[in-house]
Amino acid sequence: MARTRVAVVAFDGIRPFHLSVPCAVFGETAGDEASPFDLRVCAAEPGELRSQAGFGIVARHGLRTLAWADIIVVPSWRDPGEAPPTPLVAALRRAHARGALVVGLCLGAFVLAEAGLLDGRRATTHWRWAARFAARYPQVRIEPGVLYVDEGDVLTSAGTAAGIDCCLHLLRRRLGAEAANRMARTLVVPPHRQGSQAQYIEQPVLATARDTPLTKTLDWATRHLGEAHSLDSLAMRAAMSRRSFTRHFRQHTGTTVGRWLLAQRLALAQRLLETTAQPIERVAERAGFGTALSMRQHFGAMLHTTPSLYRREFRGG
């Protein structure tokens, strides 16, 4: 199978972490197998680049690499008040026009918007700069409170660590839930956080606290997704009031019980479709959708495909 070609755009003043995110997800392997991606870092400007941390970066490739790539990642931008270089904007437009998938992580969304790739679409960026983004690009439907937005051929993410979520989501789209889970384990990060999850959660419960009534309840729920669950039933299992459970759940996950359950059920269904030959009806039951029709409706709304097509795609036929 031909490897997917990925170009990551580096620029003067880039933060090392921003550059490292797509390089880690698409440039490393999650085991002994060969990487399914051919990754190249390309410089948006000539000469040696200076990182925000003070060390230099020498990229072997330039903007011509964007014409080669299947996926282009703009991992951020140095200043939301500075327009990106015209050659970079033009190269992104040409690449997108010929069918490349373009990703703008964090302030990289400003670069994609400057290129006109987000006109009439939904997008997100770092919450701190969302208001400035909305004022500058009124033709873009900004969603400032989410982790990432997938518009098919264009993806954008919120700041810093949300870039990992966005890249893992794209990896999941390309190679399936199991591949994304393996990479997440390699990076020691959560395997899936849905795009609609909040960017900023005040007073978060520590993700490592595994012995609280809430975390024990969530662990139990993920092992019993085939059963019916509700806010009230989960609160009762955690021996918490409905109000207290709702507050702590939101602080811990950044989302609602309904959305969290749907994301967990979709992830389980994806894994079962990829790794088993069980009938669609059985997968729907095990994942807690009840019927194949219900699962098909949720796949269409959230993943823009059907369970049958999803299974065929990841089985190569």
| pLDDT tens string 81-94 | 999 999 999 999 99
Highest averaged pLDDT of the listed ranges 19-33, 199-213, 254-268: 254-268
Q: Dihedrals φ, ψ of 122, to 5°?
A: -85, 150
Asked whether the predicted pLDDT for residue 200 surpasses 80, the reply is no
Instruction: Give the pLDDT score at 211.
Output: 73
Q: Which residues of 181-208 are buried (b: 16+ CB within 10 A; e: fewer)?
A: bbbbeebebebbbbbbbbbeeeeebeee
| pLDDT tens string 116-150 | 999 999 999 998 999 999 999 999 999 988 889 99
Only one residue has tokens 């759940």, namely 249
Strand partners, 41: 8
Strand partners, 101: 71
The answer to whether the CB of 95 falls within 8 A of the CB of 153 is no
Highest averaged pLDDT of the listed ranges 86-95, 174-183, 305-314: 86-95
End-to-end CA distance of the chain: 13
Going by pLDDT thresholds of 50, 70 and 90, the confidence category of residue 197 is: very low
Going by pLDDT thresholds of 50, 70 and 90, the confidence category of residue 185 is: confident
Tell me what the mean pLDDT of segment 65-91 comes to: 97
Asked whether the predicted pLDDT for residue 297 surpasses 70, the reply is yes
| pLDDT tens string 41-52 | 999 999 899 999
More confident residue, 172 or 18: 18
Helices (H), the chain: 16-27, 86-97, 108-114, 130-136, 162-175, 177-187, 213-223, 231-237, 242-253, 257-275, 280-287, 292-303, 307-314
